Structure 1
Amino acid sequence: MQSSPIHGLLVLDKPAGLTSHDVVSLARRAAGERSIGHLGTLDPMATGVLPLLIGKWTRLAPFFSTADKHYTGTIRFGFSTDTFDVEGTPTSELKPLERSLEDLRVLAQRFQGTIDQVPPVFSAKKIGGVPAYKLARQGKPVEMKTARITIHSFKLEGAEGDTVRFSMRVSSGGYVRSVAHELGELAGCGAHLSSLRRVQAGPFGLSEAVTREQLIEAANVGTVRDLLLHPRTVLPEFPAVAADEPSLAKLRNGQAANLPEYSEAAMVKVFRGQTELAAIGRRIAGTLFQPHLNLL
């Protein structure tokens, strides 16, 4: 158990078999903090980058809501499933893949750019306030609305038998499973996502991620705080500025304050000292900022 409240951002390398909610529960126990939220759901079969906001930092979630994601994984051709991935029930008869890798690459080009995508029925998308997957498991009809997403790149890297390796960069809200399913339909034999690893979420990559075992070990010795990203490296698009106590008091009370920040940035990160993120400030004019978000 940690000696004092923890506030910050932790990047976890999620193992297969855990839901994103399972990871949040693990982090709550490790940090001794109830207020924890993840930035972008990963399915249980998926592994990789899952950023977690802890404590007061959960208020920063809106700043990360549109972050792009980078994935690697494999697609197995030959049959489709109801979940569009390997954990689902087959929905088509086994049929051999008769397309070459080059043929599939040509088909994959149809998914480049901005497209309208239908999310999987077995997904966390809410319908009338209820996650779609819950309705689907109850056998209730589920009508999914299309969502506009952008696939920045979709590369088929190689093939072994009926399984193709790929990499994809996609905007927030995009489902790799749906692409795998639709590519299988175009190929004429069905397909599903057989493995998935998120290697980057916004600015956060695997190089910054810690494993479940590292988090548990840190919890045992009381060093979870040491696993957090340095506060000044988060939201790098916002300049960082240190404020004195009178200025912090003004911001905390919703008043504007003059800060020693001379760039033309519209938003800044305001710190007490070097590491305590106190607020996000919005520039009014010159060096005068009003509090956009208070963390004190």
Structure 2
Amino acid sequence: MNVSDSIQVPSGVLLIDKARDMTSHDVVAIARRSLGIKKIGHCGTLDPMATGLLMLVVGKATKLQDKLMCEHKEYAGTLMLGVETSSQDAMGEIVAEYSVDGVTEQAVREAFDRFDGAFEQIPPMVSAIKKDGVPLYKLARKGQEIVREPRPVEVFGHGISRVAIPEVDFTVQCSKGFYVRSYAYDIGKALGCGAHLSALRRTRSGSFTLDRAITVDTLKTAPREELFRAMLSLKELADILIAG
């Protein structure tokens, strides 16, 4: 019998370490098949290029989806200087190239410092934000570009672990609705040489980390009972949210 047809439908949060080159919706579809439960959603979209923490809310936990999506996020990424793309990341087409001669590590660090705290960010054209009910990425595919309103965001902290121009490895702790692609783009503009995001990994969402995350391969192949055991129960979830 399908689990979704049973009286006791497991509820909770399943933490996934998303693989590259798949959408968040792809992961949800896999989870629905593997768990035999239709009522599953995710908390915060990860672009196909990105890897890392994707939180799946299962059963009654879907009622907490909005609350969980409001949590602060942490990412580790790589910024590529000197090249701008249509999507602001490595998935897009190159639209401009600039020299990085004269760009120093000090200048890079100062540019990152400019984007600490609260500021406004213009979302990328290739995004799920809707204009008159149509996602912007669909308009972008048709070659259309519209004016996007700046949105308030906040960076609570950042770190730079490697500067090997044209590459810069960094971490950033940020608010809901923050686009790391636009962050990379804006830092490139501040440096005067352009930039795009060449790699991204979500490492934290609120109090949740990758420590208890399972891989997509495990989600596909593990016995259903094992996947249920990997879930954070509603009680565990409540305790974490209260403590956090």
What TM-score, normalized by structure 1, do the two folds share? 0.76
Q: CA deviation at 1:97?
A: 4.4
d(CA) in 2 for partners of 1:66, 1:141: 28
User: Residues 12 and 49 of structure 1 are in contact (CA less than 8 Å); yes or no, is this contact kept in structure 2?
Assistant: yes
Counterpart secondary structure, 1:80: strand
Output aligned runs, 1:14-53, within 5 Å: 14-53=18-57
- Where in structure 1 are there 5+ consecutive unaligned residues? 240-296
- State the partner residue of 1:115: 119
d(CA) in 1 for partners of 2:163, 2:90: 17
Q: CA deviation at 1:231?
A: 2.7
Change (3 A) 1:121 1:221: closer
Alignment of 1:232 with 2:235, yes or no, is: yes
Report the AA paired with residue 179 of structure 2.
Answer: Y
Q: Percent identity?
A: 38
- State the partner residue of 1:56: 60
Counterpart secondary structure, 1:91: strand
Output aligned runs, 1:72-221, within 5 Å: 72-218=76-222, 220=223
Report the AA paired with residue 14 of structure 1.
Answer: K
Report the AA paired with residue 183 of structure 1.
Answer: I
Q: CA RMSD in A?
A: 1.7
Report the AA paired with residue 100 of structure 2.
Answer: P
* Residues 98-120 of structure 1 deviation map (CA, whole Å, 9 limit, x = unaligned): 21111110111110000000010
Q: CA deviation at 1:156?
A: 2.0
Q: CA deviation at 1:2?
A: 6.0
d(CA) in 2 for partners of 1:221, 1:19: 22
Report the AA paired with residue 231 of structure 1.
Answer: L
d(CA) in 2 for partners of 1:32, 1:102: 53
Which is further off, 94-103 or 39-48? 94-103
User: Residues 35 and 224 of structure 2 are in contact (CA less than 8 Å); yes or no, is this contact kept in structure 1?
Assistant: no
Change (3 A) 1:111 1:74: same
Q: Which has the higher contact order (CA 8 A, sep 6+)?
A: 2
d(CA) in 2 for partners of 1:157, 1:177: 18
Counterpart secondary structure, 2:74: strand
d(CA) in 1 for partners of 2:233, 2:38: 21
Greater Cα radius of gyration, structure 1 or 2: 1
Report the AA paired with residue 64 of structure 2.
Answer: L
* Structure with more helix by fraction: 2
Residues paired across the two proteins, number: 238
d(CA) in 2 for partners of 1:98, 1:29: 53
User: Residues 99 and 187 of structure 1 are in contact (CA less than 8 Å); yes or no, is this contact kept in structure 2?
Assistant: yes
Which is further off, 208-217 or 111-120? 208-217
What TM-score, normalized by structure 2, do the two folds share? 0.92
- Where in structure 2 are there 5+ consecutive unaligned residues? none
Counterpart secondary structure, 1:150: strand
